[in-house]
Amino acid sequence: MASCIRRQSVCGLMLGLAAVLVAGCSPATSDVSGTIKLNGQAPKMSGLEVVFLGPGARPMSAPIDPDGTYTIKDVPAGDRSVCFAYAPPELAATKGKSRLTQPGKDGALPKSNVPDNLKNPVPDHLREFSTSNIIYKVVAGQKNVFDYDIK
């Protein structure tokens, strides 16, 4: 009977230790929300995204609503690089053909056939993690708000 009690105690201790180890291995995360503006105004457009660079160079993104608000769920805690992306819905591929890359008769792609009202409003340097120079510290268990004005 004593050996049975010891065995149960050891098994219970091992299960408890395993639970602590598993919980400790999971990265601490938090939601990040905020408001993104374009030159001080709400974007009033679709297709904009805010992108956070997670561990292992894994991007995590969320669409920016026309009023400028967004929320990204479960962003790992720590310093995160941030950039912005733009993909207007009007330029999505249609029937397997992109409206942006229709070659001319000589096979060359046009320099730009994007209407002015659909051009990317995000400056070049804010489109890449390596050039945006935006770092936001995500703190686990706290309300994380990242607001930014794209100029």
- For position 118, which CATH number holds? 2.60.40.10
Q: Among 64, 62, 71, 72, which residue's Cα sits nearest to residue 41?
A: 64
Q: Which residue has the tokens 């990204």?
A: 72
Answer yes or no: is 73 within a domain. yes
Report yes or no on 119 lying in a domain.
yes
d(CA 76, CA 99): 37
23 assigned to some structural domain: no
Q: Model confidence over 27-43: pLDDT tens digits?
A: 799 999 999 999 999 99
- E-only strand ranges, 16-139: 29-38, 48-54, 58-63, 69-76, 78-86, 134-138
Residue 109 has pLDDT above 60, yes or no: no
- Would residue 20 count as lying in a domain? no
Q: What is the DSSP string of 12-39?
A: HHHHHHHHHHHHHHSPPEEEEEEEEEET
Domain assignment present for residue 37? The answer is: yes
Task: Answer yes or no: is 19 within a domain.
Answer: no
Mean pLDDT confidence for 44-63:
92
Burial class of residue 119 in the structure, from the number of CB atoms within 10 Å of its CB (0-12 exposed, 13-18 middle, 19+ buried): exposed
- Residue 125 DSSP label: G
DSSP assignment letter at 102? -
Domain extent, residue 67, equals 28-150
Is position 22 within any domain? no
- Output the pLDDT for position 6: 45
In a domain, 117, yes or no: yes
Q: How far from each other are the two terminal CA atoms of the chain, in whole angstroms?
A: 75
Can you tell me the mean pLDDT for 88-97?
A: 60
Grade residue 65 by pLDDT with cuts at 50, 70 and 90.
very high
- In degrees rounded to 5, what are phi and psi of residue 134? -105, 120
Specify the number of domains making up the chain.
Answer: 1
